[in-house]
Amino acid sequence: MTRLLVVCLGNICRSPMAEGALRARIEAAGLGDAIEVDSCGTGDWHVGDPPDPRAIRNAAGHGVDISGLRARRLDTADYRDFDVLLCADASTLRIVRGRQPADATGEIALFLDWAGQGGGDVPDPYTGDAAGFESVWQLVDAAAEAVVARHRRGPPAVRA
Ligand code: 4NP
């Protein structure tokens, strides 16, 4: 079982969209028993809230229902409970690294880098318009597809 945690700032836009895209791709690939996904935010402003209505609407337009998700803040236990903490952008990566406890076992990475998408940020769409949410979806869904493809290929073969 591989446990993935997507982390952004508020846990109401980017990381729940990424969680939804990953869950959909994982289910479609029949990998529900092999990869577990959750998301959280570094901030606590929206704890307990559903995703932003614009994020819910955008994901729904792609056939993915994220309305049942609820925001939570990154917790110390997450650094042990997850194999990889996938950060939405460089700022999140800095914050997640800065809070890393001594007993952390999870890898901390930039989401688009870890997914083999060439790195870079998933831009924060919160103060933008619907187009911003669609570009977030395109980024996180391509990354989700790449994560599933990589998992299916398995670990690199060891050469003698
Ligand atoms: P997210 O977007 O990090 O993609 O969930 C944001 C949501 C809320 C805020 C900032 C970013 N906020 O400042 O409340």
Half-sphere exposure of 139 (CA within 13 A, CB side): 25
The dihedral built from the CA positions of residue 32, 29, 78 and 127, taken in this order, carries a sign that is negative
Beta strands in 92-154 (DSSP E): 107-110
Any catalytic annotation for residue 73? no
pLDDT tens sequence across 110-155 = 999 999 999 999 999 999 999 999 999 999 999 999 999 999 887 6
C-alpha to C-alpha distance for 7 and 15, rounded to whole angstroms: 6
Range of the domain at 59: 2-153
**What pTM, to 2 d.p., does this model score?**
0.96
**Average model confidence (pLDDT) across the chain:** 96
Q: What is the pLDDT of residue 134?
A: 98
Q: What is the pLDDT of residue 109?
A: 98
**Does residue 159 fall inside a structural domain?**
no
**Does residue 135 fall inside a structural domain?**
yes
Q: What is the pLDDT of residue 154?
A: 78
pLDDT over 70 (residue 157): no
C-alpha to C-alpha distance for 81 and 76, rounded to whole angstroms: 9
| CATH number of the domain encompassing residue 63 | 3.40.50.2300
pLDDT tens sequence across 85-105 = 999 999 999 999 999 999 999
Pick the range with the lowest mean pLDDT from 71-75, 106-110, 155-159: 155-159
Any catalytic annotation for residue 121? no
pLDDT over 80 (residue 159): no
Domain count, the chain: 1
Distances (CA, A) of 97 to 2, 42, 93, 108, 135: 20, 11, 6, 7, 26
How many beta carbons lie within 10 A of that of residue 146, not counting itself?
16
**Diameter of the chain measured on Cα atoms:** 53
* Best residue for ligand 1 mutational test, from 7, 11, 12, 129 (most atoms within 8 Å of Cβ): 12
CA of 59 relative to ligand 1 center, distance in Å = 17
C-alpha to C-alpha distance for 146 and 69, rounded to whole angstroms: 23
Given the CA of residue 9, which atom of ligand 1 is nearest to it?
3
* Protein residues with CB under 6 Å of any ligand 1 atom: 8-14, 41, 45, 124, 126
